[in-house]
Amino acid sequence: MADARHALSARLVPARLSWLGLVGFGLMMALLAVALVQARQFSLLRQSLASGDDYGMLSIFQAETEYLRLRDRWHHELDAQAAPDPQALRRRYAIWLTRVQALHARRARGLLDDDADYRATLERIDAFVADTRAALGERAAQPADRAFLLALQPALEALDRPLHEMSQGASARVARLLEARARTVRAQNQLGLGLTVFLSVLTLAFAAIALRQVRQLRERRIALESLADNLRQARRDAEAASEAKSAFLANMSHEIRTPFHGLMGMLSLLRETGLTPRQIDYLRTATESADHLLALLNDILDMSQLESGRVTLAPTAVELRALLRDVEALMRPQAGAKSLALHIDADPAVPERVLLDATRVKQIVFNLLSNAIKFSDRGAVVLDVRCTPGRRELAFVVSDSGVGMDEATLAHLFSRFMQGDSSRSRRHGGSGLGLEISRNLARLMGGDITVRSKVGAGSVFTFTMPLRMPPAAAAPGAVRPPVGEPMPRLRVLVAEDHPVNRQYIAALLENLGHEAHFSADGEQAVRSAREHAYDLVLMDLHMPGLDGVAATRAIRALPDPAQSTVPIVALTADAFEETRERCLVAGMNDFLTKPVSPQKLQTSLRRLFGAAIAPGPEVPPAQPRPWDGQLQTLVDEGAIRMALEAMPPARLGQMIANFLDQGPETVERLRAAVRNGQPLDLRINAHAAKGAALNLGLAGLAATATALQEGAAHLPAVEIARLVQRYEAQLPLTRQALHALDLPGIPAPDAGRH
């Protein structure tokens, strides 16, 4: 019986819907007709207003009225007993003339423009105006005397009848138009009334059908709510079962991992005892199996914790480049076992310190690098860290030269227990959970993991996360003396790792009359700032160990207010806006780019300490002689002259000679970084060489060092080696160019010097 009712209801529903649609269509058409009628009525009303009938009638009546007044005044002027008043006649004539001009307007002509008598009357009026304007117009050329008025009186009298007939004709025309419009409006009103009645009937029918539909929808809603309650209960049961499963997996993973750690500890101790080669082989197999099983248990534990929502993040301020060095140290043996090159580098725009959960970030990066190494048999694996445009996200890009993946594999790559290359997965092992765990962790951080790949061309995995900066100490205000108070000699701490740069900055400060103290790295700079009192710190950004930004933050965190508020000025060869912002955020007061000229340094000191600083002794600028175009690319004449303004030529020559003498050591450090696959070391050494070369005006060496710094993580090894070779070859050429300047302290180049 219920099935029969259901079937009948199923047949009736389309019928009800069809009737509802039919009534709705009729209602829509009726509404459209009503809208058309109302639009027609509005058009008629606007036409009535726009036609200007009232304005035309008024213009014609006023023209006739003013004509009669003009005629009376004309007769008054001809009356011999009355005193003549030509000005009054001209005023009356001017008023009538304005009414005549109104008869020529478009709205007045529209009323009777199709009447020949109307046009003839206008022509007679225009002819009369033309005859009388000479005496009665604004610029009368002759007097309006009695003879003139008598001569034109017949023409004036002749306008009486035409004007009166024109007024009567306009009245009749307007009456006919109003009657026609009234009839049209009555017809439109009758049609609108009929449509309104029809519309009301359709509305009632539509409302009845709609009420019936609403009643049926209410019944269905009640049934759906009951079904939804059942589904919610089923979902709660499923979630409870899932939570119980996750808790069971977590507990079991912990229970199993505890004896496994003991097992692996015993295996490591067993390895230290005297074993035969066969026993060592057995032990290695057992250890590898235990490691593999422990990795599976870790994946299951992570997955169960993610599902149960028990994974929480613990973001802290992290030295990002130190984190990358840890990753590189742990992954390099795995890459070396497969003869793969491993390159890890960070873009200079990436901040030194960021706020993140180091453990979870390492877990994601380890997983991506492990997969890249696992599925690559040759070439290189690269981890490149960069900031996305706008500096809102931090991106870890892992690229490899492995087998790659097709579209079908990419479609289920992040699915649970699915593995990209099943043959390799069976050979290398794995639970198929690593990528899903990594992506879930990335999304928990507010980021994601994306991939692009091509068969035979390798893969690129990009892990992005929001870039959050740790809270920095507020940058202290500049210490400014009272206006006009002379400043004492400043004690300046210079944090600079390159000896040539230290000598150069010392010469600048001595030339300005200040005392220079030096630290070779950031840790020494922090220690010196804590143990001694300084008026200013000049901080190089790129130093081994603690860099300039980290050292600045450490100084700002010192407990002594006098020490923590010392003005700090950045010294760097990077002129990027991101670097400047990073320095100011860290708490620095100013920013100087290399090469540092006396003018730049003195301007910065004036900004920090006011204009009372006395300039140092004047050194007349040297006039080096010009050299040929080939050597001009090696030496920057402007930079040389700028340096000579800060120090005597002999001292500058000695500094340049020291830098060139250290060139072979620099080349050896660069080559060692290339041999060992250490892009970070290569970048650091190239940056140091670039800064010193810029200060000393050695343009060719600075350009090559810049190319090495920027291409350390991306250029092929052969290209990096070629740049190092170019740097080595430029050393004697630079010496030759400087010798052409007759700069004291630069020995002549010889075949035995490199």
- Asked whether residue 510 is assigned to any structural domain, the reply reads yes
Strands 316-319 and 590-593: unpaired
Task: Say whether both 404 and 497 belong to one domain.
Answer: no
**Phi, psi at residue 465, to the nearest 5°?**
-150, 155
pLDDT higher than 90, residue 493: yes
Q: Which range has the worst mean pLDDT, 37-41, 337-341, 713-717, 726-730? A: 713-717
- Say if CB 735 and CB 749 are below 8 A apart: yes
Instruction: Describe the crossing of helices 679-696 and 637-644 by its angle, rounded to 10 degrees.
Output: 70
- Asked if residue 579 is part of any domain, the answer here is yes
- Contact criterion met (CB below 8 Å) for 544 and 529: no
Q: What's the domain count of the chain?
A: 4
Look at residue 468 and tell me whether its pLDDT is greater than 70: yes
Q: What is residue 700's predicted lDDT score, i.e. its pLDDT?
A: 82
| Over residues 547-558, mean pLDDT | 88
Which of residues 429 and 78 earns the better pLDDT score?
78
Mean pLDDT of 194-208: 77
What pLDDT is recorded for position 631? 53
Q: 547 with 661, same domain? A: no
pLDDT for the residue 517: 93
Q: Is the pLDDT of residue 367 over 80?
A: yes
Comparing 562-576, 632-646, 687-701, which segment has the lowest mean pLDDT?
A: 632-646
Instruction: List Cα–Cα distances, 675 to 300, 717, 718, 725, 728, in angstroms.
Output: 40, 9, 11, 14, 16
Q: Quick one: 322 and 456 in the same domain?
A: yes
Q: Residue 694 has what pLDDT?
A: 82
Tell which of 422, 449, 466 closes a domain. 466
Confidence of residue 628 (pLDDT cuts 50, 70, 90): very low
pLDDT tens digits for 276-292?
Answer: 888 877 877 777 677 66
What is the tally of helices (H) and strands (E) in the chain? 26, 12
- Same domain for 512 and 384, yes or no, is no
pLDDT band (50, 70, 90) for residue 306: low
- Domain boundary among the residues 158, 177, 211 is at 158
Residue 491, φ and ψ in degrees, nearest 5: -95, 115
Confidence of residue 426 (pLDDT cuts 50, 70, 90): very low
**Between residues 547 and 610, the one the model is more confident about:** 547
User: CA-to-CA distance for 607 and 480, rounded, in angstroms?
Assistant: 9
Where on the phi/psi map is residue 24: left (φ > 0), alpha (ψ -120 to 50), or beta?
alpha
Mean pLDDT of 318-337: 82
CA gap 181, 189 in Å, rounded: 12
Q: Give kind and range of the element (H or E) at residue 298.
A: helix 277-308
Do 605 and 681 sit in the same domain of this protein? Answer: no
Residues 448 and 342 in one domain: yes
CB 449 within 8 A of CB 439: yes
Residue 408 lies in a domain: yes
- How many Å is the maximal CA-CA distance in the chain? 160
* Same domain flag for 457 and 322: yes
CATH number at residue 495: 3.40.50.2300
pLDDT tens digits, one per residue of 245-302? 666 665 665 566 556 655 655 665 576 567 788 887 787 777 767 766 766 666 666 6
String of DSSP letters for 539-600:
EES--SSS-HHHHHHHHHT-SSHHHHT--EEEEES---HHHHHHHHHHT-SEEEESSPPHHH
- Quick one: which of 144, 100, 105, 102 has its CA closest to 124? 100
Alpha-carbon gap, residue 302 to 359, rounded angstroms? 13
Residues 6+ away with beta carbon under 8 Å from 489: 513, 514, 515
Q: What is the mean pLDDT of residues 540-560?
A: 86
560, part of any domain: yes
Query: Is the domain of 668 the same as that of 697?
Result: yes
Residue 274 DSSP code: -
Task: Report the percent of the chain where pLDDT is more than 90.
Answer: 7
Judged by average pLDDT, the poorest of 151-165, 531-545, 735-749 is: 735-749
Q: What percent of the chain stands above pLDDT 70?
A: 74
Helices (H), 375-420: 407-411
Grade residue 462 by pLDDT with cuts at 50, 70 and 90.
Answer: very high
CB within 8 A of 231, min separation 6: which ones?
none
For residues 65-93, give the mean pLDDT: 82
pLDDT band, residue 623 (cuts 50/70/90): very low
Residue 711 counted as domain residue: yes
pLDDT of 398 above 50: yes
CA–CA gap between residue 716 and residue 723 (Å, rounded):
11
Count of CB atoms situated within 10 Å of the CB of 556: 21
- Predicted confidence at residue 383, as pLDDT, reads 92
Residue 287 within a domain: no
Mean pLDDT of the chain: 76
CB atoms within 10 A of CB 323: 18
Of the ranges 63-77, 183-197, 602-616, 667-681, which one carries the lowest mean pLDDT score? 602-616
Mean pLDDT across 374-396: 86
Q: How far is CA 633 from CA 538, 574, 643, 653, 725, in A?
A: 30, 21, 18, 19, 17
> Pick from 648, 701, 709: which is nearest to 508 by CA?
648
Please check whether residues 641 and 586 belong to one and the same domain. no
pLDDT digits (tens, 9 = 90+) for 102-133: 777 766 665 666 677 777 888 888 888 888 88
> Is residue 440 included in any domain, yes or no?
yes
Structure tokens at 152: 């034109």
CATH number at residue 674: 1.20.120.160
Confidence at residue 455, expressed as pLDDT on a 0 to 100 scale: 87
Residues 498 and 601 occupy one common structural domain: yes
At residue 298, the pLDDT reads 66
Which structural domain, as residue segments, surrounds residue 658? Answer: 629-739
Average pLDDT over residues 36-61: 66
Q: Which of 158, 175, 206 is the last residue of a domain?
A: 158
Under the banding of pLDDT at 50, 70 and 90, the label for residue 394 is: very high
Which position has the higher pLDDT, 185 or 49? 185
503 in the same domain as 441: no
Residue-level pLDDT at 473 = 46
Cβ atoms of residues 548 and 570 within 8 Å: yes
Of 23-27, 77-81, 446-450, the range with the lowest mean pLDDT is 23-27
In order of 40, 48, 124, 185, the CA distances from 182 in angstroms are: 14, 11, 36, 5
Pair (452, 528) in one structural domain:
no
Q: What φ, ψ does residue 196 adopt, rounded to 5°?
A: -65, -40
Of 369 and 147, the one with more pLDDT: 369
Residue 465, number of CB atoms within 10 A of its CB: 24
d(CA 612, CA 151) in angstroms, rounded, equals: 102
- Domain contains 719: yes
316-345 average pLDDT score: 83
* Eight-state DSSP code of residue 751: T
Average pLDDT over residues 434-462: 87
